[in-house]
Structure 1
Amino acid sequence: MAPRSPSAAVLVLHGGYENGTEPPPPGLLNLPGTRMRPFVRALRRATRAPESGPESGAGVLVRQVRYAHRGWNGSRADALHDALAALDALGEEAGGSGEAGGVPVVLLGHSMGARAALLAAGHPLVRGVVGLAPWCPPGDPVTQLAGRDVVLVHSSRDRITSPQATQSLTTRARRAGARTCMVTVRGGDHAMIRRAPAWHRLTTTLVTGLLGTGSLPEPVTAALGLPPTAEPTEGTLDLDRLRPRRGPAGLQPSP
């Protein structure tokens, strides 16, 4: 029997540092990578993703970017180049050419990884981006996000990256033609350790919703449908006010 191609894919991009040309440490010593492991496990459970490749059967592939360097490193933008190379490789693994019409991909990034995901979203395979505590410098472009679904999640207490900058990018991207939404996690933190179960549930719900294998919370769907002229506050939601949904991919009440 010929192997069945996956229906979609998720590419996970962990965080890093503003500067650092050395390679990330291996295994659990790579704390930004370790931080994303619960998210990867939750997504694989929710999507029944094959672990070893498309030969395992149809489903949703969940893959992780491997960075060559720990840092972004200014104009080198090392993490962005790694993300684009990973997208090309994912297209080949999924049986496509990496061109438009191949397997649809949702990018899931944290911090530096979210910045890389946002900038790599112009790749033809990308259909959406979920960014966690994203790093959103004010000069970063947004035109590559046109036609994409973009949901950014940020703690109101984050002291490493700016939730205000995230809201600004969400608004700028909407005006550039993206469908955008921001969700605020009250009482969270940059490392996503505080209220960790809520971060995991929300992220799984958002990713599966953008993939079409689950349902997005109604307020998120409404925010994604806002016109380009909407005010920043209209597209900003509070996690604790999202309506819970039933089902394995649904958003459950937060602790």
Structure 2
Amino acid sequence: MAQRTLRERGARLGRPMGATGAERTVHGVVLLLPGGVAEGTGRPSRLAVSAVRPLARRLARAGEEEGLVAHVVHYRCRGWNGTAAHPAEDAHWAADEVVRRYGDVPVCLAGHGMGGRAALHAAGHPAVSSVLALAPWLPEPDGALVPEPVKQLTGRQVLIAHGTNDERSHPDLSYRLAERAKKINRDVCRFEVHSDRHRFTEHRAEVQALAVDFLLGSLFARGFSRPVADALAAPPPLGLRMPLAAGFGRSLRR
């Protein structure tokens, strides 16, 4: 019964934000992937969806002149659900839907928590050019588990940001994944948000500014700020433990 309910419900895209209207041409799309829980086939939390809307609006405003459209992805269910990886499947479907609606435009997958993991997993979709994973929820190491995949990140620009005091997803897990990914893809960087927690309540403005900088640079070749460019160029561990400076974004011309 649960599986039938999942099939009937289906994933969907939220309303478009940004460069919309008949007179506007879409040149890029960012898909916002909300957080969730490890297990659960019930309806997704409205709070999780609401939590990513402010970032969606910020990104849409920043990229409107470039022809950016932002959509929040509404999952079929609230849980990751083991090997089913429902949010990752929904993210892949969402990228397919972008191609159907807008044609051959570059896509950035931007997720928080479980959505960050979904973004990393779905990066292999042909339309995806970049991935932004904020405090990605990743499984604890277990000899019985298959390691998180990283081959799908090849050819994508990837930025991970994680609070050093994250109480829900240990930052060392995202560092280890970034370290593995960096071995096969030079365009991977990771920022540490010192003293911040899972929801980035202490440095939300800086994290959103970092997201804007990375999105515009990766989708529209506008170039990155010096910290992001340095993080992408630096070898491990420097480029994977780059501190996000207080006040980041205040002097950026965006």
Specify the code of the residue in structure 2 equivalent to 1:34: S
Question: Could you report, residue by residue, the CA deviation over 1:66-96 in whole angstroms, capped at 9, with x for unpaired residues?
Answer: 10100101111110111111110011111x2
Residue 36 of structure 2, aligned match among 12, 16, 19? 16
- Tell me the equivalent position of 2:240: 235
**Contact 1:14–1:33 (8 Å) recurs in 2:** yes
The alignment covers a number of residue pairs equal to: 227
Specify the code of the residue in structure 1 equivalent to 2:67: G
Specify the code of the residue in structure 1 equivalent to 2:40: G
- Mark the CA change 1:86 to 1:234 in structure 2 (over 3 Å): closer, same or farther: closer
For structure 1, which runs of at least 5 residues remain unmatched after alignment?
50-57, 97-101, 250-255
TM-score by length of 1: 0.82
Question: Could you report, residue by residue, the CA deviation over 1:147-196 in whole angstroms, capped at 9, with x for unpaired residues?
Answer: 11110000010010011111111110111225111111112110222222
For structure 2, which runs of at least 5 residues remain unmatched after alignment?
1-21, 142-146
Partner Cα distance (2:187, 2:98) in 1:
24
**Contact 2:206–2:248 (8 Å) recurs in 1:** no
Question: Could you report, residue by residue, the CA deviation over 1:70-126 in whole angstroms, capped at 9, with x for unpaired residues?
Answer: 0101111110111111110011111x2xxxxx2111111001001010010000001
1:80 maps to 2:96: no
1:44 maps to 2:60: yes
Residue 90 of structure 1, aligned match among 98, 105, 114? 98
Moved more, 71-80 or 133-142: 133-142
- Mark the CA change 1:3 to 1:181 in structure 2 (over 3 Å): closer, same or farther: same
- Tell me the equivalent position of 1:54: none
The offset of 1:31, in angstroms, is 1.4
- Mark the CA change 1:177 to 1:234 in structure 2 (over 3 Å): closer, same or farther: closer
Partner Cα distance (2:223, 2:117) in 1:
25
**Contact 1:136–1:169 (8 Å) recurs in 2:** no
Runs of 4+ in 1 over 6 A off after TM superposition: none
Specify the code of the residue in structure 2 equivalent to 1:236: R
- Tell me the equivalent position of 2:151: 143
Partner Cα distance (2:128, 2:48) in 1:
23
- Tell me the equivalent position of 2:122: 120
**Contact 1:38–1:200 (8 Å) recurs in 2:** no
The DSSP-based 3-state class of the residue aligned with 1:147 is coil
- Mark the CA change 1:243 to 1:42 in structure 2 (over 3 Å): closer, same or farther: closer
The offset of 1:198, in angstroms, is 2.1
The DSSP-based 3-state class of the residue aligned with 2:210 is helix
- Tell me the equivalent position of 1:110: 112
1:216 maps to 2:224: yes
1:153 maps to 2:161: yes
Partner Cα distance (1:75, 1:35) in 2:
26
Partner Cα distance (1:178, 1:213) in 2:
17
Partner Cα distance (1:211, 1:187) in 2:
30
- Tell me the equivalent position of 1:252: none
